Structure 1
Amino acid sequence: MVEAAVAAAVPGLPVDVAPLSGYQRWSAALLPRYGQLTHLIACERVGPGGDGRPRNMRGEDIGAHTAPLDRLYATGSAFRIGIGDGGNELGMGRLPAELVGRVVTAGERIRCVVGADALLVGGTSNWAAAALVGALALLRPDLPQLRTLLRPAWSYDLLAAIVRAGAVDGVRRRSTLSVDGLDWPVYAEPLTRVAELVDTGR
């Protein structure tokens, strides 16, 4: 799905795919390159809970389906940014377990224990990521392509591309043009607002 998204957004951009088998060799080979990075962003990337197991929002152990990228994320001196919405994502370790438990079903159980230097929490992770892009767009007016990423039409085209590739809405568990159970018009409202704020802030 990530490859399909990248192909639709930035054709030709290389994607490192973490394997479930042979992960140690894969990460060891990439570590020298990743170690030179100044910033790492983990968006909606599940991480280990208190028992060491990564869990989805339903509390299900999904370790058999996801590589332990938290090991690369927590290595080195890069400034780490975490983006999430459910408590089980990389970066959420910055929040107390009891806080996550108060606002998320089974939050203390699924909460990722890996922290971050900066944590962005949104109603959906995508909205928080859009806010980050909006801030960057204001800081870097010399990069007009950042504003393109804030246009709802851009997000719609990207969503349509990954749905065509077989993506499913994680809440509805079916292939539909929705995000976290939100139909497109509702989901697009915050994206539209972020784009408007950036446009008026120039």
Structure 2
Amino acid sequence: PVLEAAVAATAPNLPVDVAPLRGYEDWAAARIPAYGQLTHLIACERVGPGVDGRPRNMRGEDIGAHTAPLDQLYTSGSAFRIGIGDGGNELGMGRLPADLVGRVVAAGERIRCVVGADALLVGGTSNWAAAALVGALSLLHPEVPELRTLLEPAWSYDLLSAVVGAGAVDGVRRRPTLSVDGLDWPAYAEPLTRIAELVGTSR
């Protein structure tokens, strides 16, 4: 329901393929050939396996029962892989030394995802790093105005409102609030506004 609300609020015509928790192996096996033909893959805030093979949240809790092992598709084929994260437990973080993640993240060496990426973007929140990537793409491709729309704080606010209304919770606060990673909207929106301003002044 949360994903459906996000798509309905921002891109109602976007095709979405949701990985099931039950029957995942068959679902993934049917898609590996197609994924193998892709040139680029982006994993944003997508948890991946740690040193013990189990996906863990920032609290060190095993969340394998609640998340599909999309690392299998992420590592299939020869696509250029981009990882975006903020806590060390996301796909792509395997590019960083374990001791580095351990120094800056609580229980970092335990929760650190071991799957690497060709390029890794790290942000105070993953969404900020993703917005920076969108900003760079919008500068490289000014003929695609939709990219600039994605940078507007109002777009993010509408999206956040829609997913919270559908039952999403702030991962830090563990309750449905208009906040991201424990940051209330005004603080969360500041970097988004700055990125939009930077892109706007670079036209």
Q: TM-score, length-normalised on structure 2?
A: 0.98
Aligned partner of residue 24 in structure 1, secondary structure: helix
The answer to whether structure 1 residue 177 and structure 2 residue 178 are counterparts is yes
Which digits, 9 at most, give the CA deviation of each residue in 1:134-171, with x for residues without a partner?
A: 00000001011100100000000000000011000000
Q: TM-score, length-normalised on structure 1?
A: 0.99
Which digits, 9 at most, give the CA deviation of each residue in 1:110-131, with x for residues without a partner?
A: 0000000000000000000000
- Specify the alignment match of 1:66 in structure 2: 67
Q: Separation in 2 of the partners of 1:51 and 1:4?
A: 34
Give 2:121's aligned amino acid: L
Give 1:69's aligned amino acid: L
Structure 2: any 5+ residue segments left out of the alignment? none
- Specify the alignment match of 1:90 in structure 2: 91
The answer to whether structure 1 residue 129 and structure 2 residue 126 are counterparts is no
- Specify the alignment match of 1:46 in structure 2: 47
| C-alpha RMSD over aligned residues | 0.7
- How far the C-alpha of 1:5 sits from its partner, in A, is 1.2
Give 2:187's aligned amino acid: V
The answer to whether structure 1 residue 6 and structure 2 residue 20 are counterparts is no
- How far the C-alpha of 1:31 sits from its partner, in A, is 1.4
Aligned partner of residue 156 in structure 2, secondary structure: helix
Superposition map of 1:144-163 within 5 A: 144-163=145-164
- Specify the alignment match of 1:22 in structure 2: 23
Q: Which runs of 4+ in 1 moved over 3 A?
A: none
Q: Separation in 2 of the partners of 1:193 and 1:160?
A: 21
Give 1:163's aligned amino acid: V
Q: Separation in 1 of the partners of 2:146 and 2:187?
A: 25
Q: Separation in 2 of the partners of 1:40 and 1:4?
A: 23
- How far the C-alpha of 1:2 sits from its partner, in A, is 2.3
Which digits, 9 at most, give the CA deviation of each residue in 1:48-80, with x for residues without a partner?
A: 000000000000000011110000000100000
Percent identity, aligned pairs only? 84
Aligned partner of residue 81 in structure 1, secondary structure: strand
Give 1:67's aligned amino acid: A
Structure 1: any 5+ residue segments left out of the alignment? none
